């Protein structure tokens, strides 16, 4: 096991690297030529423009040395913006997301204080490990202030049991308050929201085929009959996946075209050339500008043909549509009720906001959807459990003693104290980190196959998968496998009673590993996040080769966004580690608290200055967050029960059994109280908004407002002619819309009315 | 273990007792004076009148001996009525309930044939038990055709694995077909239904208190605002629990009054006396008729006062109401949507039909409801696991060898072969049966505390509890505890690997016990059901002492009803036994098949001739039935996996692991396809019925029709004056109602409109 010295070295290294990242960030962000990397959000909002300094140098490098002195100024600045303004600036999703970190702080700061005040003295005076020093189990200094130092069957365990209850109560109380708070924030947010197309619309899927009517007629008739006073219009969904691919390909070619054109302009003496084969490396040499002009022309024709065919071919219409209603009340009713006796057709759900729609998945039949989910569940199972193999291998190698046993010839190198500490401190964490980096994209692809229809639900679903993976592989995998390898021989020669005791003692022994992990993944990882190395490099590359106009520069920015699918499950691991180790090894807690505080600071800065969310779901992920924190809490309670039952306190199980039951009940209770705020839109709120709107804008032409709200993105910026009638209506001063005027792609043909 | 001879004796005894019950039934049912016990349903329907034979004797005893020869004629008669007529006659609930038995037949008849054709030969030629005869494990002849006879690690196990898949597939296929069928039946039933108050009504609970408005005003305003075009009226709920108690007490006194009056009329020379103290046994002697007249008068006054106070006291109005809408569409919308942003107030659900309402539970606040459910869950846990103790004790005693070991002095008595077989065959089954008879009432009381608002949901909830109990105590308790006692010493001296093997071998060893159980509980129990001993005796007692008029005789009948809460979980045990033993001990299967066939016959007869259901839920319990059969199937699959993994076929686990996963997926799939038909009423159906009704009865006055539909039963037959205006409307020939005209208790004051 790693000793205090190892931990200290590791902590020092990680703190230094974190500090290095922060200093680098502080310097880089002050350079005007990096401004678009570190403040893209302000550019996107139109508040910040490109620097227009007096001299050319000042445009690129900041020479005002006074600013460097206050290089940590961004930290208080990040905390400065009040929350309502933050919600206005960055959206509710982001504001709620950083509250997860705040929740971590709120939960663990008092727990840490309490644990150090009560449990550390109790543990420290246990004096068991010294006495057992001669025995087989290895131990470190940290274990002395952990539960391992309490003698077998001691009454001191009652302190741990009591504290476990206190910790659980505090966690539940904080969770309850936070759930209530977030639900209220969401309701306020929705109530304050201005008119949006999704308030009036419902996504209808699995429209059954009709021999006599086209899809659009069928939809119109169905809703005219069944929602007679509320139905307004609908927009069918086109299968534009192929068209989207062509558009994407054209865009890539255009980038190359611009690149070669820029090259030619800088050096007009030589026309740039390229090769027609694989990646411009093989094949015949041709004039690059001509080649790309030609290719783009061909694709443009292809695109136009495909566009034509999508719009005119009835087979391109998918059995799905966005149906809009005259009032929000009508949309709420339609989204929350069942339409027909067959629950596999005419499925209605509250429409996601237009930019949140995941277009590819709108037309999956019911049975296929079920099959896909089954297959993906099985796949997830195998994915989760096959990752165990390499992790187990690396984990077992990552132990100095094991390495020396397996590769005796490495002994002289490794026994060098500094190298030994380095290996001990870094290797296990890094190995895990690499594994985890591969995963999110696979999980997202799996979620897409499962057929979810909005980006937000894809994110939430991927997060669940990732959490499961982290729980099994990172947490349980690290606890069980590492130990199994270390003490396998010991186990095999023991009776079953002794065996369970040794397993129980595993959790405290793994504390040092997890401390290392927190420092590598949590501290240094978060500090690296603020530096944004990858966007920094890509921006400068693009800037050098592609950017010609101010608009191009706008495009070259990659503000990125909060990646809920990967970030949230990782935070959950910290919640779980904190809860598991709070009564067992309090020494781990300060590391968790520092992580939450530091991460809160960094991410608050990022959402203010950098990230640009792709969609706004109104914090609809909070029930998942809450549920997973509760799950971590229950796991920690069960693990404590298992641990104590092996320490000679048979009554402890009885004293602890109520804890997971009460916690689960608490979860159910909170779910009943708050979850519906995240799932359903209440009729009363809809009615209030409707009434208000009728009073304020009695002449609103909703049909025009909704006309093209739900259009596949490839149709949204094309050059088709807008019908004159719509122009008229839109120019009519009576009809105010908050929507920026868009060119309209399709005629009114598929937007019926009754 | 019981041998084939024991089983045969037990089978003979049970068959004989079943036959005796049937003969007794055949004779008794032909006697005219029992007519109201065995054919109450026809009397209630008004189709059958009291016998009016030519002579006095013929009125009581059937002397036509030819009818006795055909004494089993009721059996084909029971099967004769076609299903649509049966639904019309007995309601959908009953018709669907007996389909559970039919489902059992459909599932297990082919499985039995297949198991005997394939598995019995495979097992019989295994020849393991003879070779191991000298070892410690006892075995019987039945075990020879069970899986126990296959040698360790034999390839023959693949036959069992394959058959397990075949059985599961067949079961799932049958379940799917049946679910589909029942869902279609329900939808047809609901579509064909004539106008009923619950189609237009919604139960609203947790109306929040308002400082300025009374409950009824608050409700009216809320729904006028939020369902402006649909709200029609509402009926508040009065807290009439005390009044109901007074009414019940009065009724009991009236019974005694009639009893003494009858006595006096038969013997006018002596006025009957009673004592005023405990149960008429202690206290001063008084004239009985005067005493009861007086008591009834006092109670009548009390009742009138309480009735007055309930109607006029605003505190007696509970924060709940039945809100009715102008159309079914409006009611469907209100019941399926969320009303406000706080999900703990204004809770709406589809109103149960008036006679299905459980009035006491309509006004429980949200938090209290949650607390009650938690407490009841914990109570259920303890109830379930504390019953283990006595059952384990009786079970272990019920084994001949154990009895002889514990009480050596009983040896000479018990070793008598006939007594030995008797004890072996009966004792375990009967002990269980007694335990189970105590339970349902406790479980129903627990469900009532949990706060469900309709009798049908109380029944369903109690059934779930009872199923859990049966699963843990009857099934698992019998399998595990019995064995533990028998082979405890053997276990303690074994290593853990050998230990699991012995546990795995337990299931086949328990087959004979369950065969006995099926015969006692299934065969003889069902035969006793048809005889209706308790209602027979009570009817004749009441007839002798209380009945004066034809109407009294009507009241004396106790047709009873299908008791879903206890019957269904018991059927589920048979499903599970069949599924568990199908691949293990096929010998058990014929017993199951006979049970299902016999029970189907008996209960079809009973629902045609006897039972009178208290409510009609439209077969809404089927999702529970389906879910529990699937659960039994999954348990059986897991048990088979456990069993085979101890028989030296390591690969079998891999081959079987997919089974429970696929079964669970099947369950999810079916749930998605069919469950909504049982939970939600689709908008389309509502719209169709509304449109039709508008066309057929354009002048229907719905307000009058619904006026007093949801009134507490104590108000329904009182003598208050009906307001004149309603009389007028009701006599108007334009307004046809199918409802029998009732006296109206309360004025229109609480039935608002907007």
Provide the pLDDT confidence category of residue B742 given band limits of 50, 70 and 90. very low
| Exposed e or buried b per residue across A169-203, where buried means at least 16 C-beta atoms within 10 angstroms of its C-beta | ebbbebbbebbeebbebbbebbeeeebbbbbbbbb
Residue B562 has pLDDT above 90, yes or no: no
Interface confidence, given as ipTM, is 0.76
Q: In the prediction, which pLDDT does A36 show?
A: 75
Provide the pLDDT confidence category of residue A653 given band limits of 50, 70 and 90. confident
Average pLDDT of chain B, as a whole number: 78
- A714: which 2 tokens? 């490839």
- Which candidate from A496, A683, A684 shows the least CB-CB separation from B496? A496
Q: In the prediction, which pLDDT does A431 show?
A: 64
Contacts of B227 in chain A (CB under 8 A): 683
| Mean pLDDT within B431-454 | 82
Higher per-residue confidence, A1 vs A615 = A615
- A619: which 2 tokens? 């914090």
CA distance B372 to chain A (A): 11
Contacts of B370 in chain A (CB under 8 A): 665, 668-669, 672
Provide the pLDDT confidence category of residue B82 given band limits of 50, 70 and 90. confident
Residue A682 has pLDDT above 60, yes or no: yes
Average pLDDT of chain A, as a whole number: 78
DSSP state of B286: E
Strands B231-238, B317-325: parallel, antiparallel or unpaired by DSSP?
antiparallel
Q: In the prediction, which pLDDT does B626 show?
A: 94
CA distance B674 to chain A (A): 7
- Which site among A343, A367, A618 would you substitute to test the B interface, given the most B Cβ atoms closer than 10 Å to its Cβ? A343
For chain A, give the percent of residues with pLDDT over 70. Answer: 77
Provide the pLDDT confidence category of residue B420 given band limits of 50, 70 and 90. confident
- Which candidate from A337, A340, A496 shows the least CB-CB separation from B336? A337
CA distance B584 to chain A (A): 28
Q: In the prediction, which pLDDT does B280 show?
A: 63
CA distance B536 to chain A (A): 44
Residue A752 has pLDDT above 50, yes or no: no
Provide the pLDDT confidence category of residue A306 given band limits of 50, 70 and 90. confident
Residue A512 has pLDDT above 70, yes or no: yes
Higher per-residue confidence, A562 vs B103 = B103
Residue A658 has pLDDT above 80, yes or no: yes
From residue B597, alpha-carbon distances to A590, B92, B108 in Å are 68, 20, 10
- Write the pLDDT tens digit of every residue in A149-176: 788 778 888 888 899 999 999 999 999 9
Among A194-203, A317-326, A429-438, B116-125, name the one with the lowest average pLDDT. Answer: A429-438
Pairwise CB contact (< 8 Å): A225 & B687 = yes
For chain B, give the percent of residues with pLDDT over 90. Answer: 12
- Which site among B218, B231, B323, B333 would you substitute to test the A interface, given the most A Cβ atoms closer than 10 Å to its Cβ? B333
Q: In the prediction, which pLDDT does B68 show?
A: 65
Asked if residue B336 lies in contact with residue A337, where contact means CB atoms within 8 angstroms, the answer is yes
- Measured CA to CA, the distance from residue B302 to residue B307 in angstroms comes to 8
CA distance A343 to chain B (A): 6
Contacts of A660 in chain B (CB under 8 A): none
For chain B, give the percent of residues with pLDDT over 70. Answer: 77
CA distance B375 to chain A (A): 10
Give the predicted TM-score (pTM) of the model.
Answer: 0.79
Chain A, 667 to 696: residues with Cβ < 8 Å from chain B are 668-669, 672-677, 680-685, 687
Residue A400 has pLDDT above 80, yes or no: no
- Which candidate from B374, B672, B673 shows the least CB-CB separation from A665? B374
Note whether B349 contacts A: Cβ–Cβ < 8 A.
Answer: no
- Which candidate from A332, A344, A677 shows the least CB-CB separation from B337? A332
DSSP state of A454: B
- Measured CA to CA, the distance from residue B344 to residue B351 in angstroms comes to 18
- Write the pLDDT tens digit of every residue in A23-82: 888 777 777 777 777 777 777 777 666 555 455 555 566 666 666 666 667 777 778 888
Please name the residues in contact with B550: beta carbons below 8 A apart, sequence gap of 6 or more.
Answer: B50
Residue B550 has pLDDT above 80, yes or no: no
Pairwise CB contact (< 8 Å): B340 & A684 = yes
- Measured CA to CA, the distance from residue B626 to residue A579 in angstroms comes to 40
Q: In the prediction, which pLDDT does A607 show?
A: 86
- Write the pLDDT tens digit of every residue in A229-250: 889 888 888 887 788 888 888 8
Pairwise CB contact (< 8 Å): A673 & B229 = no
Residue B232 has pLDDT above 80, yes or no: yes
CA distance B212 to chain A (A): 20
Report the chain B residue with the minimal C-alpha distance to residue A691.
B225
Closest CA to A425 of A393, A388, A400: A400
- Which candidate from B187, B496, B665 shows the least CB-CB separation from A374? B665
- Which candidate from A333, A343, A681 shows the least CB-CB separation from B673? A343
Contacts of B496 in chain A (CB under 8 A): 496
Chain A, 629 to 668: residues with Cβ < 8 Å from chain B are 661, 665, 668
Q: In the prediction, which pLDDT does A632 show?
A: 92
CA dihedral in degrees (B658, B659, B662, B665; nearest 10)?
A: -120
Higher per-residue confidence, B398 vs A215 = A215
Please name the residues in contact with B47: beta carbons below 8 A apart, sequence gap of 6 or more.
Answer: none
Q: In the prediction, which pLDDT does A666 show?
A: 92
DSSP E strand stretches across B158-259: 201-205, 231-238
Q: In the prediction, which pLDDT does A165 show?
A: 93
Q: In the prediction, which pLDDT does A743 show?
A: 39
* Residue ranges per structural domain of chain B: 4-192+369-679, 201-352+699-754
Residue A454 has pLDDT above 70, yes or no: yes
Q: In the prediction, which pLDDT does B725 show?
A: 38
- Which candidate from B341, B374, B672 shows the least CB-CB separation from A343? B672
For chain A, give the percent of residues with pLDDT over 90. Answer: 12
- Write the pLDDT tens digit of every residue in A85-135: 888 888 899 999 999 999 999 999 999 999 988 888 888 887 766 665 544
- Which candidate from B187, B227, B344 shows the least CB-CB separation from A341? B187
- Write the pLDDT tens digit of every residue in B291-314: 888 888 888 888 888 888 887 877
- Write the pLDDT tens digit of every residue in A282-294: 667 777 778 888 8
From residue B718, alpha-carbon distances to A317, B110, B552, B723, B726 in Å are 63, 57, 19, 14, 17
Q: In the prediction, which pLDDT does B596 show?
A: 92
Contacts of B492 in chain A (CB under 8 A): none
Q: In the prediction, which pLDDT does B592 show?
A: 92
Q: In the prediction, which pLDDT does A729 show?
A: 39
| Mean pLDDT within B616-629 | 91
Q: In the prediction, which pLDDT does A482 show?
A: 46
Q: In the prediction, which pLDDT does A282 show?
A: 67
């Amino acid at each position: 096991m790693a000793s205090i010295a190892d931990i200290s070295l590791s902590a020092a290294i990680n703190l230094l690297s974190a500090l290095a990242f922060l200093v680098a960030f502080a310097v880089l962000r002050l350079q005007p030529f990096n401004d678009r990397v570190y403040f893209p959000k302000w550019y996107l909002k139109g508040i910040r423009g490109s620097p227009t300094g007096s001299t050319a140098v000042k445009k690129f490098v900041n020479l005002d040395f006074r600013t460097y002195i206050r290089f940590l100024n961004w930290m208080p600045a990040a905390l400065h913006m009040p929350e309502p303004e933050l919600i206005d600036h960055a959206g509710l999703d982001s504001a709620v997301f950083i509250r997860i970190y705040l929740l971590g702080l709120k939960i663990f700061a008092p727990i840490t204080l309490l644990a150090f005040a009560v449990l550390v003295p109790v543990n420290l005076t246990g004096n068991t490990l010294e006495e057992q020093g001669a025995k087989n189990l290895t131990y470190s200094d940290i274990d002395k202030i952990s539960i391992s130092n309490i003698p077998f069957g001691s009454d001191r365990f009652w302190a741990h049991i009591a504290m476990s209850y206190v910790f659980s109560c505090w966690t539940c109380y904080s969770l309850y308050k936070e759930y209530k708070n977030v639900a209220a924030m969401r309701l306020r947010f929705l109530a304050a929201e201005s008119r949006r197309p999704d308030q009036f619309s419902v996504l209808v899927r699995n429209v059954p085929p009709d021999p006599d009517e086209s899809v659009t007629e069928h939809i119109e008739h169905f809703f005219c009959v069944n929602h007679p006073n509320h139905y307004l219009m609908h927009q069918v969904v086109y299968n534009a996946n192929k068209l989207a691919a062509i558009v994407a390909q054209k865009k890539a070619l255009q980038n190359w075209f611009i690149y070669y054109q820029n090259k030619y302009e800088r050096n007009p003496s030589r026309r740039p050339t390229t090769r027609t084969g694989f990646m411009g490396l093989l094949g015949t040499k041709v004039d690059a500008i001509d080649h790309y002009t030609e290719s783009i022309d061909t694709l443009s024709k292809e695109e136009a043909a495909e566009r034509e065919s999508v719009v005119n071919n009835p087979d391109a219409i998918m059995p799905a549509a966005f149906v809009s209603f005259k009032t929000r009340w009508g949309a709420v009713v339609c989204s929350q009720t069942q339409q027909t006796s067959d629950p596999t057709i005419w499925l209605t759900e509250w429409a996601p906001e237009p930019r949140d729609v995941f277009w590819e998945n709108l037309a999956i039949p019911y049975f296929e959807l079920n099959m896909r989910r089954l297959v993906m569940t099985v796949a997830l199972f195998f994915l989760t459990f096959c990752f165990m193999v390499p992790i187990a291998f690396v984990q077992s190698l990552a132990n100095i003693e094991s390495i020396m046993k397996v590769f005796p010839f490495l002994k002289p190198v490794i026994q060098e104290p500094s190298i030994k500490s380095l290996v001990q401190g870094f290797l296990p964490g890094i190995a895990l980190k690499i594994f985890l980096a591969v995963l999110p994209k696979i999980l997202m692809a799996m979620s897409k196959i499962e057929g979810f229809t909005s980006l937000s639900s894809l994110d939430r679903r991927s997060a669940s998968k990732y959490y499961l993976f982290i729980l099994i592989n990172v947490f349980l995998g690290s606890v069980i496998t590492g130990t199994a390898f270390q003490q396998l021989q010991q186990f095999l020669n023991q009776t079953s009673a002794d065996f369970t005791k040794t397993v129980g003692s595993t959790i405290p022994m793994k504390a040092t590993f997890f401390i290392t992990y927190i420092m590598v993944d949590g501290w240094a990882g978060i500090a690296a996040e603020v530096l944004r190395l990858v966007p920094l490099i890509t921006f400068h590359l693009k800037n050098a080769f592609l950017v010609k106009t101010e608009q191009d520069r706008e495009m070259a920015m990659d503000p990125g966004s909060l990646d809920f699918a990967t970030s949230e499950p990782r935070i959950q691991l910290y919640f779980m580690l904190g809860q598991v180790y709070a009564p067992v090894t309090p020494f781990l807690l300060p590391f968790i608290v520092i992580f939450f505080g530091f991460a809160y600071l960094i991410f608050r800065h990022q959402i203010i200055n950098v990230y640009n969310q792709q969609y706004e779901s109104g914090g609809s992920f909070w029930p998942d967050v809450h549920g997973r924190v509760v799950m971590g809490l229950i796991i920690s309670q069960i693990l404590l029960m298992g641990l104590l039952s092996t320490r000679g306190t048979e009554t402890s199980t009885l004293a602890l059994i109520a804890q997971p039951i009460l916690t689960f009940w608490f979860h159910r209770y909170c779910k009943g109280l708050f979850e519906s705020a995240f799932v359903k839109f209440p009729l009363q709120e809809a009615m209030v908004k409707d009434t208000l709107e009728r009073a304020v804008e009695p002449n609103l032409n909703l049909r025009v407002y909704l006309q093209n709200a739900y259009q596949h993105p490839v149709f949204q910026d094309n050059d088709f002619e807008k019908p004159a009638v719509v122009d008229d209506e839109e120019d009519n001063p009576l009809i105010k819309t908050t929507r920026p005027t868009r060119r309209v792609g399709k005629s009114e043909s598929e937007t019926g009315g009754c």
